[in-house]
């Protein structure tokens, strides 16, 4: 269930996604929250320079590996504006992070990219549960669907 606290963190992810788009990157943002509910780290997409591995979920997995012991990683939640791609899901699994809560699903994202005539990612995009067996995953959050869809429409208009 996406509850009020989840929605607050997911809204921050969407803000970060909007910041990324405004900076010439792609509209994705993520927040890492500890078991006590404290925001530990946040990041946004940074692929504008040409490195397409600069996804926020990957950055947060690396941050967690550097800063959190394994039990704290397992107890943490990663909130993200769009469901982890296959690369980021793998990083999440390798680092041993806990629950994922996403605002929009990969299925929604691929539908929007097709609708807008954008290139699909050069990966087979799988649901996170297929990449990381046993992971707790929640989403999408319908409250945020139109806002995120709007960010991708703006991305395409910006070229």
| Residue closer to Zn ion (CB basis): 36 or 76 | 76
C-alpha dihedral (54, 9, 82, 56), degrees to nearest 10: 10
In the complex, least distance from residue 85 CB atom to Zn ion, rounded to whole angstroms: 3
Q: Looking up tokens 């319908």, which residue turns up?
A: 142
Q: What is the C-alpha to C-alpha distance for residues 142 and 136, in angstroms, rounded to an integer?
A: 19
In the complex, least distance from residue 87 CB atom to Zn ion, rounded to whole angstroms: 5
| Residue closer to Zn ion (CB basis): 4 or 151 | 151
Residues forming contacts to Zn ion in the complex (CB under 5 A) are 55, 85, 87-88
In the complex, least distance from residue 58 CB atom to Zn ion, rounded to whole angstroms: 6
Long-range contacts made by residues 153-157, C-beta under 8 angstroms, separation at least 24? 153/112, 153/116, 154/21, 154/27, 155/21, 155/26, 155/27, 155/118, 156/116, 156/117, 156/118
> Cβ distance 88 to 60 under 8 Å?
no
| Residue closer to Zn ion (CB basis): 88 or 148 | 88
Q: What is the C-alpha to C-alpha distance for residues 98 and 106, in angstroms, rounded to an integer?
A: 19
In the complex, least distance from residue 124 CB atom to Zn ion, rounded to whole angstroms: 13
| Residue closer to Zn ion (CB basis): 24 or 71 | 24
In the complex, least distance from residue 103 CB atom to Zn ion, rounded to whole angstroms: 15
| Residue closer to Zn ion (CB basis): 87 or 97 | 87
């Amino acid at each position: 269930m996406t509850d009020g606290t989840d929605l607050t963190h997911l809204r921050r992810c969407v803000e970060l996604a909007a910041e990324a788009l405004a900076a010439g990157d792609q509209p994705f943002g993520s927040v890492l929250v500890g078991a006590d509910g404290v925001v530990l780290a946040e990041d946004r997409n940074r692929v504008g320079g040409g490195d397409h591995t600069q996804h926020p979920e990957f950055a947060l997995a690396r941050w967690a590996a550097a800063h959190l012991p394994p039990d704290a990683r397992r107890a943490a939640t990663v909130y993200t504006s769009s469901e982890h791609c296959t690369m980021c899901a793998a990083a999440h699994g390798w680092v041993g992070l806990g629950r994922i809560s996403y605002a929009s699903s990969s299925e929604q994202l691929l539908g929007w990219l097709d609708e807008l005539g954008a290139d699909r990612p050069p990966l087979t995009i799988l649901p996170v549960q297929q990449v990381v067996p046993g992971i707790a995953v929640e989403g999408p959050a319908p409250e945020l669907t139109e806002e995120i869809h709007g960010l991708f429409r703006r991305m395409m208009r910006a070229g």
